[in-house]
Amino acid sequence: MAINVSLLKRICEVAGAPGYEKRVRDLVIEEVKSYVDELTVDNLGNVIALKKGNNNPEGKKAMVGAHMDEIGFIVTHIDDKGFVRFHTLGGFDPKTLTAQRVIIHGKQDIVGVMGSKPIHVMSQEERGKVAKTTDYFIDLGMSKEDVEAVVSIGDPITRERELIEMGNCVNCKSIDNRVSVFILIEALKNLKDHPYDVYGVFTVQEEVGIRGANVSAHSINPDFGFGLDTTIAFDLPGAQPHEMVTQLGEGVAIKIMDASTICDYRMVDFMKKTADQKHIQWQPEILTAGGTDTAGIQRMGKDGAISGAISIPTRHLHQVIEMADKDDIRGAIDLLIACLQNLDQHDWSH
């Protein structure tokens, strides 16, 4: 079954730096409000969409988390020539900033370009140095006076890049983690006959420390938890098989562990068996660096949650050319729905 690329495009292209997720939040609310029993926004800005279970006398709760924020920047200084300095919000490889357009979200959205010292005037020593984020500035092509009429210290900045289709893949900035926002929206729209209460949580500020997931899990105190996020697909020239983590087009990934979470072995087993029963192609994921909302979901409720994660293999992570396979995305939607519908069919004893 095909995926709704036009909806995914809208979700990926909308701006939402950590702490400034309002535009994404508004889109999410509009998409899911007609498909859930309750919809709330907490003090931090997490969107909590509840679909009540059909047969749930014990009040069991499953939480699914997908973060709305994307890596971005924040304005820290405007110099006498109108050039803007910034601080990063989330993790960046500095070399990926070269030759990029960005959008400063001030009194109005304004496009700028990432500038740095031209190679023509660099010394040999400078040419050999590894780039740092502090080597870059944003050029708006405007005077200081004109910049300050629109831009203020503290304004968020996002990267500019549209979503396109390439072969069987989609390519855009912010596939991490808007593809999971899309997956959770589609799952909530199509989820039926599930036994337990499902809390679909669109979280904030994951890229700066899993902050939204921590707060929402503490509030919900789920019995079961599912993180939704991208993962490394290093199936690229020069990669050794043991380095790849996952591969595009080889199926949705079932997380075993990352740097912040060892997934509950019972949940991993349940997810693998469910995928096999539903004929959903999957691959295992062990990511030795980096973490996701799964960590907050698993351990920030007062009782802890039996937790795992559905991951979407993605090439070129934390760049503006992130790439995911449409079949893997479809598999993630199908696996999430199947898991939520069959939570009461598994032996969860230790």
Active-site residue set: 206
Query: What does the CA dihedral 168, 173, 176, 179 come to, rounded to 10 degrees?
Result: -50
User: Residues near 297 by Cβ (< 8 Å), separated by ≥ 6?
Assistant: 63, 65, 213, 217, 222, 225, 226, 227, 305, 307
- SS3 state of residue 82: coil
Element (H, E) at 332: helix 326-341
Cα dist from 152 to 108, 146, 175, 258, whole Å: 11, 11, 28, 38
State the amino acid at position 102 in one-letter form.
V
Of 263, 268, 270, 246, the closest CA to residue 328 belongs to 246
- Tell me how far apart the alpha carbons of residues 104 and 158 are, in angstroms, rounded to a whole number: 7
DSSP 262: B
- Which token pair is 296? 């907050």
